[in-house]
Amino acid sequence: MSSDPSKRPIRSFVIRAGRTTDSQRKALSAHWDDYVIPFAAKPLKVSDHFPESDRLTVEIGFGMGDSLLEMAQQDPTANFLGIEVHRPGVGKLLHGITEHQVKNLKIMCHDATEVIADCFPERSIDRILVFFPDPWPKKRHHKRRIIQPEFVSLLSSRLKQGGHIHLATDWEQYAEHMLEVLDQETTLSNAFGKGKYYEDPARPPTKFENRGRRLGHGVWDLRFKRIS
């Protein structure tokens, strides 16, 4: 990493010292080597980790992992990779994977931008999910938002032809920003028509989302398809 602050990459996340429960600590210790794929700046051989199928969904920033675990359980013939930097969430998901004996779900605990750029060749992922990323609501922090034109171009380049990007947020201004950025990416097309949101998303709700809905918060989903 450069010593020049002006040349350092802008991170979309801040690693906070969250509380880790006893079950999360035990799962991190006992099951890390079984389900966490170590990061290396080289193409990931998916078949080494998922021998049963070549269909791959990648979720970026899975939080505590409840919805990702449910998706993997609902579709056992597909493979799922969750990317998350926060250890309590990784521990929670590891606990869930082992408790429910889920075989088609693995984790990478590293910066998602580097994972996508370095570990996946072009046209190698079927579906990319980014649910409820930090909206960084203050204007001076907007540059930290993960959904930016350069990152969306990177994501699209890793999608197979016909693959999808599915985003969700409960922050309306961020939803508008997401829509604008995705609309500008020429290799993607809105699955529901230009300027349209995904009105009935086929995904398990997160605990964070359910809490927001009880408080009257809206939720906006977007799904874009790779067309070229």
The beta-strand segments (E) located in 72-118 are 79-83, 105-108
134 assigned to active site: yes
Of the residues 111, 134, 183, 200, only one is catalytic, namely: 134
Tell me: pLDDT of 8 over 50: no
Average pLDDT over residues 170-193: 97
pLDDT at 6: 38
**What's the rounded Cα separation, in Å, for the pair 214 and 80?**
29
Q: Quick one: average pLDDT of 165-194?
A: 97
The confidence band for 53, taking pLDDT boundaries of 50, 70 and 90, is confident
Would you kindly state where each structural domain of the chain is located, as residue ranges?
Answer: 18-226
Q: Which fold, 18-226?
A: Rossmann fold (3.40.50)
What's the predicted TM-score (pTM) here? Answer: 0.91
Mean pLDDT of 80-88: 97
Cβ neighbours for 166, distance < 8 A, ≥ 6 positions apart = 127, 128, 129, 130, 131, 198, 201, 203, 221, 222, 223
pLDDT, one tens digit per residue, over 29-50 is 999 999 999 999 999 999 999 9
Average confidence score pLDDT of the chain:
91
Q: How confident is the model at residue 3 (pLDDT cuts 50, 70, 90)?
A: very low
Average pLDDT over every residue of 197-213:
87
Min mean pLDDT across 13-17, 133-137, 149-153 is at 13-17
In contact, 163 and 127? CB cutoff 8 Å: yes
The label of the residue with tokens 């890793």 reads: 158
**Residue 7: is its pLDDT beyond 70?**
no
Higher-confidence residue: 139 or 182? 182
